[in-house]
Amino acid sequence: MISRKRVVEAEIDQDQAAAVADETLHKRTREDLLISSAVAEETSVMEVDNSQVNGMQIDADGSKPDDIDEDLHSRQLAVYGRETMRRLFASNVLVSGLQGLGAEIAKNLVLAGVRSITLHDEGNVEMWDLSSNFFFSEEDIGKNKALACVLKLQELNNAVVVTTLTGNLSKEKLSSFQAVVFTDVSIEKALDYNDYCHNHQPPISFIKCEVRGLFGGVFCDFGPEFTVSDVDGEEPHTGIIASISNDNPAMVTCVEDERLEFQDGDLIVFSEVEGMTELNDGKPRKIKSARPYSFTLEEDTTNFGAYKKGGIVTQLKEPKILKFKPLKDALRDPGEFLLSDFSKFDRPPLLHLAFQALDRFRHEMGRFPLAGSEEDAQQMIAFAINLNESMGDQKLEEFDRKILRYFSYGSRATLNPMAAIFGGIVGQEVVKACSGKFHPLFQFFYFDSLESLPVEPLEPSYFKPLNHRYDAQISVFGSKLQKKLEDAKIFIVGSGALGCEFLKNLALMGVCCSPEGKLTITDDDVIEKSNLSRQFLFRDWNIGQAKSTVAATAASLINPKLHIEALQNRASPETENVFDDAFWESLDTVINALDNVTARMYIDGRCLYFQKPLLESGTLGAKCNTQMVIPHLTENYGASRDPPEKQAPMCTVHSFPHNIDHCLTWARSEFDGLLEKTPNEVNTFLSNPDVYASSMRNAGDAQARDLLERVLECLDKDRCESFQDCVSWARLRFEDYFSNRMKQLTFTFPEDAVTSSGAPFWSAPKRFPRPLLFSASDPSHIQFIMAASILRAETFAIPVPDWARYPKKIADAVNKVIVLEFQPKTDVNIVTDAKATSLSTASIDDSAVINDLITKLEECSKKLPTEFRMNPIQFEKDDDTNYHMDFIAGLANMRARNYSIPEVDKLKAKFIAGRIIPAIATSTAMATGFVCLELYKALSGGHTVEDYRNTFANLALPLFSIAEPVLPKTIKYRDMSWTVWDRWIIKGDFTLRQLLQWLRDKGLSAYSISSGTSLLYNSMFPRHKDRMDRKVVDLVKEVAKVEIPAYRRHIDVVVACEDEENGEDVDIPLVSIYFC
Amino acid sequence: MSSPSKRRDMDVMKLIMSDYSVETINDGLAEFNVEFHGPKESPYEGGVWKVRVELPDAYPYKSPSIGFLNKIFHPNVDELSGSICLDVINQSWSPMFDLLNIFEVFLPQLLLYPNPLDPLNGDAASLLLKDKIQYEKKVKEYCERYAKSKMENISDGSDEDISEDECNTGSDTDGIAGDADP
């Protein structure tokens, strides 16, 4: 049970609500706000160094520079940035209509953190509403809808003021809001409200949306002139200059390190250009002829200074002004519809008409069309024809009556997956309206998922309401599919953001909600604070508890009939005793709710093996994708892959960083080396010195030598016994990292070093480093010392004194440290003298050095207390008080300073070094909605691949790209053909020789047979010939060390073979040998 | 669309078919050693290195990890760890490449044309830039000391368990390795 630990105080009195809203009304006009903050944002970009380093100082003194709870909102901050979040926190939003759609929108906005949200609904909860609004339970029937939601919504985020309006909404009340959303309003009323909002000063952003059965639509009007500050949410692209011509137009080429991402017409600014310094004036310039590594400027540079070297170009993001049409004009002249599915390119105009016809029907008849009623459908079609006639030049030549009929049948129902999709879309549009971040939807969007209907014909009797919570869903899909949903056996892998949304969706849809049904959910993670801004089944009192258990309990509250089991096992080869064959075979469908590719690949492999449908999805910031993997119909998840993440070359990270990412990568690896690996190594040595020594002697290589040197250093020269020792260590690290190493590097490669061809060694993208001079009065130096010495103290279990947190005291302590003058090593240069023929000291045989080191180490350990151990520190990004990120940001920024690379603040450093995946509630909810529309198909059965849909969407643009899944690749060999879903089965306990013969009978010559990563047979390995008469199953057990559970009757091997006739490789299916 | 494990098998097979000595550990194919000879007409000629190959689960989509086990003096090879800084094996790896490409093309090219502009071993790079003759001298010294032919190179006990799994198709012609020594 979720405990109700806190008393939630939500205001539910409508007068009071209005009063609050009035108070919070912005006095400044919105344009003012947008323009002034846009300017502020630009300046802050320019002055990144100063302002953000200042920010760090304030941080360190314990007071936050602003009121954003960065622990709670870190994943969302990574998407929006601080400025957008601040604007969001200042916004008051109205959501009118609290069926499923209104609930989804309100949930997304409360999680995002607007200032206030006002729920408006004049109607009462009916049984019918329980299929889509997860805040309602059966006890709420008869209560006002807004009142029934308010407490549960408030629980999601105490920082948001949630109020209700249960009476008539006069349009004057709208003036209290920056954005208003109507989910269930007649066109007549909508026109009135919209007119008021459009002409209000400042304009009020107006959104109207509806979901009706498998159809949905949105309309946005953000006023006559709306400024978008960031049209796509992408980081500005940059390039490193290699040359600039003195020409008209001027040609700029960049280093072939990374492809440029500029497009013609983009605005850019130059910096750090040497020679042609006229370009460093900070003026935006427009580019033309953008190519992968070059572009031209519309500028005459003939008389400019000649380009010498250096220079960076940075894309400048231009604000965009949108002129929205009011609803009354847009209805008549809707303009371009945002298209989502190219196989339905002609559908948006039809749906535009259908929604108006439905509005007319409701207006005339005072009700919705009845499910399955041909008479009502005909009536609605008649309205549509009528409307079409009056459309003038927008008139449709012909339209599909079948689609209109289905629209009519299901129009009364709000389906949860549709509400989740449109709740995500509209939630994002509200964020755009309040912040100017991302491009708004301009202006109509329609979507339908008719393919979700069962393939067999639906009899009108199937739609009959049964007076239970699924009646709305039954009115669309019929009771037969409802039964299938309830009896389904589903496995959800992961209980994070996607998992929470899925649980809510499935509970509302009634999936796994009969005694026969069974939902298994697993996740090995526990709840953290940063989860709460989107994993909406969790509350702050759940922090530290198992995700799957808490989520399952919360889902059972949404629908008590949900038959769910929550496990804490990571889905991986190690848990195949839990998720065994019987478990997999019992499943109908698997839903991935994962956050990493490795686990996705593993589940994909399992689903492929057990022939189970896999519904896959993922999000990244405002983007999401869904992929359906259906046995024999589609390719599997692993069949297509994204290119692996770009990694900076080692030498770049090592000595030649040219951006902050390189510095952060280096900082991360130094953190691990100093604080985790070396202490671990020390402990390994101490726990068994003899074993350690002999293993090092055995290895006998340079790496072993390096490890020993580190361990010895840690226990001998650098051992800390007091906090002052730690400060000294930190100070000397500073000297080594940011002064000595730079001196050595520039000694080895002086600034004027040239290659054999005379080209400068230090040419772009390499940046010439300069050593830092330590100064106790530089706050960032002291910050570094503070973080480093506190962490060092932790590894030596030295208590951290209170004064360690005061920069002044740290400065005093650091001034006591004696730092020796550095002399660069010159052994490279002396090779020209007589000694050159003998190898220098650095290259003496490792084994001798290792022996020497071990002796010293043994000496040294005798002086240690017997129980002495170090405390290795594992990097934890999400704790703001543990100094981990302070240390990493310090390391990276000091290094950046060496190379004159712009520094970053701790938050930005955390995003990059902590590999924080940006995540928001809107795109997550939408992704699960799309998947659940597919779940209807997967569980209903009989659908062809043409009915399934994969989705890619980016709410920032916004963009929807929905298409049929890709077919599995078919391999043909002689008269056979197969796909990845097929398997060759051998009945009989074959020996290796028999297996080879069995393949030869098919004309195939096998040259390699393996199990997992182990080789059972390779035709080139002479000793494998001895295995010919062994049973394959025994080889699997012995060589691959596979444990075969007692119940399993087969093993699988991968065979690489070629066609005996032409010697070509034939990619044959997995071979399963049933040995008993 | 071959399964990753099959690509692994095929790639190893191709290496063996091209007369490379491949040393597996207990028949595992996730990591193994390959004998690599310094290219002709380079200061590395005559040197023989044991190169460790680690194939990640996602191979060939993810690049293999390649490292010299015995020492080599080269601007783009870390002297301590033996790791290589080479774009085709790291940043611009493509699943179209295979292990044979690495041993037939990428590594020989790296040894023939070291790139002192992106050094991992600063000393080697600096020496190459300043004094090519001394550089080549030092390369040869390293070869002499650390990369003599494999027969002599196998020394300590740690190799015992792996040598049994060695295989070399070319054993009948060049007779270097492949004899099991149980």
| pLDDT tens readout for residues A479-516 | 999 999 999 999 999 999 999 999 999 999 999 999 99
Chain A residue numbers with beta carbons less than 8 Å from the beta carbon of B178 are 1022
Least confident of A27-31, A193-197, A1023-1027: A27-31
Asked if the Cβ–Cβ distance from A654 to B12 is below 8 Å, we say no
| pLDDT of A861 | 87
| pLDDT of A643 | 72
Q: Which residues of A are catalytic?
A: 651
Compute the average pLDDT of residues A321-336: 95
Q: Tokens 């010559």 map to which residue? A: A1005
pLDDT band at A55 (very low <50, low <70, confident <90, very high): very low
CA atoms within 13 A of residue A532's CA, in its CB half-sphere: 21
B105 touches A at CB < 8 Å: no
Least confident of A64-68, A329-333, A687-691: A64-68
| pLDDT of A20 | 39
In this predicted structure, the answer to whether residue A778 has a pLDDT above a threshold of 80 is yes
Sign for the CA dihedral angle at A671, A672, A676, A680 comes to negative
Contact A105, A421 (CB under 8 A): no
Asked if the Cβ–Cβ distance from A1022 to B10 is below 8 Å, we say no
Average model confidence (pLDDT) across chain A: 89
In this predicted structure, the answer to whether residue A614 has a pLDDT above a threshold of 90 is yes
How far apart are alpha carbons B27 and B25 in whole angstroms? 5
Mutate which: B2, B7, B8, B9, vs A, most A CBs within 10 A = B9
| pLDDT of B2 | 53
| pLDDT of A967 | 97
> Which residue in chain A has the smallest CA separation from B16?
A1020
How far apart are alpha carbons A133 and A416 in whole angstroms? 8
Distant-in-sequence, close-in-space partners of A408: CB < 8 Å, separation ≥ 6:
A358, A361, A369, A373, A376, A377, A380, A381
Minimal C-alpha gap between A606 and chain B (Å): 14
Three-class SS state of B131:
coil
Q: What angle do CA A178, A184, A188 make, to 5 degrees?
A: 85
* DSSP class per residue in A388-455: HHTTGGG--S---HHHHHHHHHHTT---HHHHHHHHHHHHHHHHHHHH-BSPPP-SEEEEE-GGGS-S
pLDDT band at A844 (very low <50, low <70, confident <90, very high): low
| pLDDT of A827 | 57
Mutate which: A650, A695, A746, A827, vs B, most B CBs within 10 A = A650
Nearest-CA neighbor of A223 among A173, A179, A169, A171?
Answer: A179
Give residue B76's region: left, alpha or beta (phi > 0; psi -120 to 50): alpha
Mark which residues 9-28 of B lie under 8 Å from A by CB: 9-10, 12-13, 16-17, 24, 26-28
Query: How many other CB atoms are there within 10 angstroms of residue A1072's CB atom?
Result: 17
A843 touches B at CB < 8 Å: yes
How far apart are alpha carbons A355 and A350 in whole angstroms? 9
In this predicted structure, the answer to whether residue A195 has a pLDDT above a threshold of 70 is yes
| pLDDT of A234 | 87
CA B164 to chain centre: 20
Q: Which long-range contacts (CB under 8 A, 24 or more apart) does A34-38 make?
A: A34/A227, A34/A229, A34/A436, A35/A227, A37/A83, A37/A87, A37/A229, A38/A227, A38/A229, A38/A319, A38/A436
Asked if the Cβ–Cβ distance from A650 to B85 is below 8 Å, we say yes
Contact A627, A603 (CB under 8 A): no
Percentage of chain A with pLDDT > 70?
Answer: 92
Chain B residue numbers with beta carbons less than 8 Å from the beta carbon of A644 are 58, 61-63, 93
The better pLDDT of the pair A763, A646 is held by: A763
In this predicted structure, the answer to whether residue A184 has a pLDDT above a threshold of 50 is yes
Least confident of A702-711, A902-911, A914-923: A702-711
Compute the average pLDDT of residues B139-159: 65
pTM of the model: 0.87
pLDDT band at A750 (very low <50, low <70, confident <90, very high): very high
Asked if the Cβ–Cβ distance from A644 to B58 is below 8 Å, we say yes
Q: In this structure, what DSSP letter does residue A677 have?
A: I
Q: How many residues does chain A have?
A: 1076
Asked if the Cβ–Cβ distance from A1020 to B169 is below 8 Å, we say yes
**Most confidently modeled range among A91-100, A461-470, A856-865:** A91-100
Mark which residues 620-679 of A lie under 8 Å from B by CB: 639, 641, 644, 646-647, 649-652, 654-656
Compute the average pLDDT of residues A742-749: 94
Compute the average pLDDT of residues A732-746: 96
pLDDT band at A347 (very low <50, low <70, confident <90, very high): very high
pLDDT band at B37 (very low <50, low <70, confident <90, very high): very high
Asked if the Cβ–Cβ distance from A1014 to B5 is below 8 Å, we say no
pLDDT band at A320 (very low <50, low <70, confident <90, very high): very high
Query: How many other CB atoms are there within 10 angstroms of residue A815's CB atom?
Result: 10
CA torsion A928→A934→A939→A942, rounded to 10°? -170
A1010 touches B at CB < 8 Å: yes
Q: Which two tokens stand for residue A667?
A: 């900082």
Residue A851 belongs to what H/E stretch?
Answer: helix A846-862
CA atoms within 13 A of residue B70's CA, in its CB half-sphere: 24
Least confident of A625-629, A839-843, A956-960, A1050-1054: A839-843
> Which residue in chain A has the smallest CA separation from B131?
A832
In this predicted structure, the answer to whether residue A1029 has a pLDDT above a threshold of 50 is yes
Mutate which: A651, A984, A1026, A1067, vs B, most B CBs within 10 A = A651
Q: Which two tokens stand for residue A548?
A: 């799957």
Q: Does ipTM exceed 0.90?
A: no
Phi and psi dihedrals of A266, rounded to 5?
Answer: -65, 150
Chain A residue numbers with beta carbons less than 8 Å from the beta carbon of B127 are 828, 831
Contact B66, B89 (CB under 8 A): yes
In this predicted structure, the answer to whether residue A828 has a pLDDT above a threshold of 60 is no
| pLDDT of A46 | 35
Asked if the Cβ–Cβ distance from B27 to A1039 is below 8 Å, we say yes
Compute the average pLDDT of residues B33-57: 93
How far apart are alpha carbons A213 and A447 in whole angstroms? 11
In this predicted structure, the answer to whether residue B86 has a pLDDT above a threshold of 90 is no
